[in-house]
């Protein structure tokens, strides 16, 4: 996120120092993958959509986030089919976090 020009807008949503949010994300992802519940112990229920509401997240922001995550997956996940599976799951989550007008997940709440 620090280096990709495509991620400049989402990088700007975050604090200059990423160290604390990196740790939170690491704990969250560990728990999401079935590891110890380190995130919930510290932060409670994830409420990911609610926690992202302060930031405007549309398709462009989602795609920039996915680009960063795809790079990370390329770096750390050797197995191509596992990588593809994770990519798909992340995409669903990233699309669900989207809070612009076009999110079909909101259609039933209007
Ligand atoms: C779709 C594009 C996304 C954008 C632009 C985005 C951006 C952000 C921003 C700006 C924060 C706040 C950072 C801070 O507190 O300094 C945040 C927090 C967080 N994001 Fe995202 N995010 C996105 C998608 C996701 C997805 C898909 C996940 C999960 C896989 C995720 C997981 C988290 C977590 C765990 C936190 C910390 C929540 C907490 O405070 O407990 N984000 N995100």
CATH number of the domain to which 49 belongs: 1.10.490.10
78 in any annotated domain: yes
Query: How many domains, the chain?
Result: 1
What range does the domain containing 47 cover? 5-103
Quote the tokens at residue 72: 């990370």
Residues in contact with 58: Cβ distance below 8 Å, sequence separation at least 6, in sequence order: 98, 100, 102
Residue 61 near residue 14 (C-beta atoms within 8 A): no
Residue 89 near residue 22 (C-beta atoms within 8 A): no
Considering only CA atoms, which residue is closest to atom 34 of ligand 1?
25
109 in any annotated domain: no
Per residue in 44-98, pLDDT (tens digit) is 999 999 999 999 999 999 999 999 999 999 999 999 999 999 999 999 999 999 9
108 in any annotated domain: no
13 in any annotated domain: yes
| Test site for ligand 1: of 41, 63, 65, 92, most ligand atoms within 8 A of the Cβ | 65
Using a CB cutoff of 8 Å and minimum separation of 24, what contacts does 79-82 make? none
């Amino acid at each position: 996120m620090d280096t990709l020009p495509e991620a400049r807008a989402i990088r700007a949503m975050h604090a200059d120092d990423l160290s604390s949010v990196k740790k939170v994300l690491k704990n969250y992802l560990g728990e999401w993958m079935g590891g110890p519940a380190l995130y919930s112990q510290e932060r409670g229920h994830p409420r990911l959509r609610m926690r992202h509401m302060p930031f405007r997240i549309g398709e462009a922001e989602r795609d920039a986030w996915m680009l960063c995550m795809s790079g990370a997956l390329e770096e750390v996940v050797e197995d191509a089919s596992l990588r593809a599976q994770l990519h798909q799951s992340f995409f669903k989550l990233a699309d669900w976090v989207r809070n612009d007008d076009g999110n079909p997940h909101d259609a039933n709440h209007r």
